């Protein structure tokens, strides 16, 4: 009977058990006695009431001259100190903040077994009071409204201040309205901070409401917070760390035209946000890498780059150039200045993506403007090597002398004068200096150098091949009159067999065959420009080979692209964990279980009573059914064992046949 009842009422029994377990075990752990309960006071009692309650408890507990240290005594003293401090009491009443609760266990363990008078009072360090009261850049509700939703992110720090990441500010908990807006909310509608203080809240770019701001729940270290802000909030890339083996591959594969920026760190911290932003802004001119500096590898880095201490920043043009090393920490403005200097001072490389910008494409226009009819592109071509690196330095000095004139350092050093024709062309942006990687751009190089191409173009055929960098100038003349079109007698032949390109400018090529002396090169450039501007040459256009597109090399990793599915799953699991943790603290769960148990018990009981009531005597329908059932049972017992011919029922459509001798025939 008991087993049948248990089977029938298993659901309400389980709900009753869960309800009582939640109310008696789970809920008390989620809501331990408050400090007001320790003193026997109601919630939010005044400071005066706290003092009176403490005096009354002290007179009872300290009836002995010097009682031994117990947990109860320490809790009473701790509650008194916390609730008589206006700032701590405010934070505890409004947000439930009690960051020094560990003091109770610490004091009990330290002074256990001794008398209470030996405890160093006060228990709570009062020097923490007002720690952030004078912090700069405090935010008010009006200031937050004016800042959020802009293109720059906002990092709000509750209880601490972190500079140099984005727009930053601190919210004082005394500003209850704003602090409550930024806090999380319990089921009891009380605002709270899940991990206490300090707490970090970030508004991503263009975020202007509470539905899109992000809370930081990671480790509280400068490196971790900066990485979270730069990667997750601003969306800047992570710059990868390299070992000594992978760094060599990075230098080789990151592009010969790019400056290699190698940052040495001793602690392994992530790249600062301004370095990450530079990796995006200068991705066409530079590649970035980080290296963890180890004492065992000191000699390697000293011999390779000249690094003698960390932090250090190495700027390397190519493997054949002397690197520039900066020792010490760099600020954002200093780093940007160095990058701009390299961008301006480095000779640009002629590539498929830069030919139009440099004005070195017949289908494009001059850097001086679309109205310029005549312009020039000087190209230094050769294989990568020490000779090519030295020649690039020479061409940089040539360009520097033409840009600065007789006042340049090199001009004063060699006592040389700068021709006005070439200097004017450079200042007007009609003359562009660039270099071409002959190893990669074989067809383009071969087309312009003709029979001399093997000295500078294509891969080396033998190890002892001599590399000879060469210089040539292309003069471009824009097709502006019909006379030029008519004068081009080969136009019909080219349009038919080489393809029509009506926008192409006329091109004439001049090759330099002199020495690598700067003054001689400048004189040759000036002579070419003077003749190109004053003399009339046949108008001739042709289609030059396309520049080979260089593969782009990824120098960083986007945080969204590292492990997107795994990161998404981790965030969802963490969100589910927080939801379950908050659900356990909901005081409505226990009563809901008990209510469900009562309703299910009542439902089962009513169904059972209805079945019993339907089976009680006095009902005509029930009596007639019972009588029919009894008659059938007696009939089955009486006919049991008799032949089937006697017990067979007569079919409905059967009839009796008359005998042949009857009177009816």
| Highest mean pLDDT pick, 182-191, 215-224, 361-370 | 361-370
The pLDDT score that the predictor gives to residue 646 is 47
**65: pLDDT strictly greater than 80:** no
The pLDDT score that the predictor gives to residue 623 is 57
- For residue 591, being part of any structural domain is answered with no
- For residue 115, being part of any structural domain is answered with yes
Average pLDDT of the segment spanning 648-652: 56
362: domain CATH number is 3.40.30
261: domain CATH number is 3.40.30.10
- Which run of H or E residues covers position 340? helix 332-345
The full DSSP string for 253-294 is HS-TTSEEEEEEESS-PPPPHHHHHHHHHTTTTEEEEEEE--
Q: Please, what sign has the CA dihedral across residues 643, 644, 647, 652?
A: negative
> What mean pLDDT, rounded, does the chain reach?
78
The pLDDT score that the predictor gives to residue 129 is 46
Residues 163 and 105 occupy one common structural domain = no
Residues 179 and 311 occupy one common structural domain = no
- CA-to-CA distance for 456 and 443, rounded, in angstroms? 12
- For residue 555, being part of any structural domain is answered with no
Average pLDDT of the segment spanning 418-444: 89
SS3 for 428-494 is CCCEEEEEEECCCCHHHHHHHHHHHHHHCCCCCCCCCCCCCCEEEEEEEECCCCHHHHHHCCCHHHH
Specify the range with the lowest mean pLDDT, choosing from 136-140, 229-233, 444-448, 544-548: 136-140
Phi, psi of 441 (to 5 degrees): -95, 65
**Domain region containing 188:** 141-219
pLDDT tens-digit map of 505-542 = 888 889 999 998 888 999 999 999 999 998 888 777 77
Both tokens of 625, joined, read 């059914």
| Highest mean pLDDT pick, 3-12, 215-224, 372-381 | 372-381
- CA-to-CA distance for 516 and 308, rounded, in angstroms? 35
Residues 306 and 405 occupy one common structural domain = no
In the listed set 479, 508, 534, which residue is the last one of a domain according to the structure?
534
pLDDT tens-digit map of 582-622 = 777 777 888 888 898 899 888 888 887 877 666 555 555 55
In the listed set 219, 253, 287, which residue is the last one of a domain according to the structure?
219
Share of the chain above pLDDT 90, in %: 16
Share of the chain above pLDDT 70, in %: 75
Residues 155 and 72 occupy one common structural domain = no
- Record the pTM: 0.60
> For residues 202 and 153, is the Cβ–Cβ distance under 8 A?
yes
Residues 371 and 306 occupy one common structural domain = no
Residues 202 and 263 occupy one common structural domain = no
Confidence of residue 51 (pLDDT cuts 50, 70, 90): very high
- For residue 26, being part of any structural domain is answered with no
Residues 211 and 328 occupy one common structural domain = no
Please choose, from the candidates 190, 293, 206, 186, the residue with its C-alpha nearest in 3D space to the C-alpha of residue 242: 293
The pLDDT score that the predictor gives to residue 155 is 58
Residues 488 and 364 occupy one common structural domain = yes
The pLDDT score that the predictor gives to residue 471 is 94
pLDDT tens-digit map of 195-251 = 777 788 888 877 877 778 888 888 877 788 888 888 888 888 889 999 988 998 898
**164: pLDDT strictly greater than 70:** no
Confidence of residue 545 (pLDDT cuts 50, 70, 90): confident
**397: pLDDT strictly greater than 80:** yes
89: domain CATH number is 1.10.287.110
Average pLDDT of the segment spanning 76-88: 91
- For residue 640, being part of any structural domain is answered with no
Residues 255 and 363 occupy one common structural domain = no
Confidence of residue 311 (pLDDT cuts 50, 70, 90): very high
In the listed set 512, 534, 556, which residue is the last one of a domain according to the structure?
534
- For residue 188, being part of any structural domain is answered with yes
Both tokens of 507, joined, read 């091109």
Residues 198 and 290 occupy one common structural domain = no
Residues with Cβ within 8 Å of residue 521, at least 6 apart in sequence: 394, 395, 398, 471, 512, 514
Residues 394 and 523 occupy one common structural domain = yes
Residues 209 and 160 occupy one common structural domain = yes
**558: pLDDT strictly greater than 50:** no
| Number of compact structural domains in the chain | 4
Q: Integer distance in angstroms from the first to the last C-alpha of the chain?
A: 73
More confident site: 568 or 178: 178
Phi, psi of 445 (to 5 degrees): -65, -45
The pLDDT score that the predictor gives to residue 293 is 93
- For residue 545, being part of any structural domain is answered with no
> For residues 477 and 542, is the Cβ–Cβ distance under 8 A?
no
- CA-to-CA distance for 182 and 171, rounded, in angstroms? 9
Specify the range with the lowest mean pLDDT, choosing from 341-355, 529-543, 621-635: 621-635
Average pLDDT of the segment spanning 456-464: 76
pLDDT tens-digit map of 463-505 = 666 788 999 999 999 876 544 444 444 455 445 444 445 457 8
- For residue 316, being part of any structural domain is answered with yes
**165: pLDDT strictly greater than 60:** no
Confidence of residue 131 (pLDDT cuts 50, 70, 90): very low
């Amino acid at each position: 009977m008991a087993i049948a009842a248990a089977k029938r009422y298993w659901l309400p029994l389980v709900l009753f058990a869960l309800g009582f377990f939640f109310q008696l075990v789970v809920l008390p752990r989620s809501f331990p006695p408050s400090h007001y309960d320790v003193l026997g006071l109601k919630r939010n009692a005044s400071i005066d009431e706290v003092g009176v309650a403490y005096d009354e408890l002290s007179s009872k507990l300290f009836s002995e001259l010097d009682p031994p240290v117990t947990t109860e005594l320490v809790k009473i003293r701790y509650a008194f100190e916390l609730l008589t401090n206006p700032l701590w009491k405010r934070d505890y009443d409004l947000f439930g903040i009690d960051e020094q609760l560990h003091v109770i266990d610490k004091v009990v363990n330290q002074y256990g077994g001794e008398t209470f008078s030996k405890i160093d009072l006060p228990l709570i360090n009062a020097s923490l009071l007002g720690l952030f009261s004078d912090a700069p850049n405090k935010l008010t509700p009006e200031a937050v409204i004016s800042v959020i939703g802009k293109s720059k992110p906002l990092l709000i720090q509750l209880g601490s201040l972190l500079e140099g990441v984005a727009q930053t500010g601190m919210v004082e908990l005394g500003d209850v309205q704003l602090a409550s807006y930024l806090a999380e909310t319990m089921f009891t509608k009380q605002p709270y901070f899940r991990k206490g203080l300090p707490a970090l809240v970030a508004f991503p770019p263009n975020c202007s409401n509470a539905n899109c701001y992000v809370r930081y729940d990671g480790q509280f270290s400068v490196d971790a917070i900066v990485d979270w802000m730069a990667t997750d909030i601003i969306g800047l890339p992570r710059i990868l760390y390299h070992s000594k083996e992978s760094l060599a591959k990075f230098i080789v594969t990151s592009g010969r035209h790019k400056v290699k920026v190698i940052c040495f760190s001793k602690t392994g911290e992530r790249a600062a946000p301004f370095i990450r932003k530079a990796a995006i802004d200068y991705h066409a001119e530079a590649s970035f890498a980080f290296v963890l500096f180890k004492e065992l590898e000191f000699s390697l880095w000293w011999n390779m780059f000249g690094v003698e201490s960390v932090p250090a920043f190495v700027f390397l043009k190519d493997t054949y150039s002397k690197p520039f090393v900066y020792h010490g920490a760099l600020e954002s403005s200093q780093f940007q200045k160095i990058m701009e200097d390299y961008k301006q001072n480095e000779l640009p490389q002629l590539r498929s993506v830069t030919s139009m910008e440099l004005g070195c494409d017949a289908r494009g226009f001059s850097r001086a403007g679309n109205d310029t009819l005549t312009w020039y592109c000087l190209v230094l071509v050769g294989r990568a090597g020490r000779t090519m690196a030295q020649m690039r330095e020479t061409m940089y000095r040539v360009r520097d002398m033409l840009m600065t004139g007789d006042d340049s350092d090199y001009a004063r050093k060699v006592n040389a004068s700068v021709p006005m024709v070439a200097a004017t062309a450079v200042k007007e942006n009609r003359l562009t200096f660039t270099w071409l990687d002959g190893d990669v751009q074989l067809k383009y190089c071969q087309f312009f150098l003709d029979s001399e191409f093997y000295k500078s173009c294509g891969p080396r055929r033998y190890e002892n091949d001599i590399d000879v960098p060469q210089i040539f100038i292309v003069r471009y003349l824009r097709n502006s009159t019909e006379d030029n079109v008519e004068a081009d007698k080969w136009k019909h032949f080219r349009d038919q067999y080489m393809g029509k390109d009506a926008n192409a400018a006329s091109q004439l090529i001049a090759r330099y065959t002199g020495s690598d002396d700067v003054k001689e090169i400048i004189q040759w450039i000036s002579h070419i420009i003077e003749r190109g501007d004053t003399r009339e040459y046949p108008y001739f256009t042709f289609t030059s080979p396309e520049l080979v597109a260089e593969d782009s090399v990824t120098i960083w990793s986007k945080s969204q692209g590292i492990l997107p599915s795994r990161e998404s799953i981790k965030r969802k699991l963490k969100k589910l964990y927080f939801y379950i943790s908050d659900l356990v603290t909901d005081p409505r769960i226990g009563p809901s279980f008990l209510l469900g148990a009562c309703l299910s018990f009542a439902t089962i009981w009513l169904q059972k009573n209805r079945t019993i009531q339907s089976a009680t005597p006095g009902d005509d329908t029930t009596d007639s059914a019972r009588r029919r059932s009894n008659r059938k049972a007696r009939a089955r017992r009486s006919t049991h064992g008799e032949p089937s011919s006697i017990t067979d029922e007569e079919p409905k459509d059967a009839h009796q046949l008359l005998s042949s001798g009857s009177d009816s025939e």
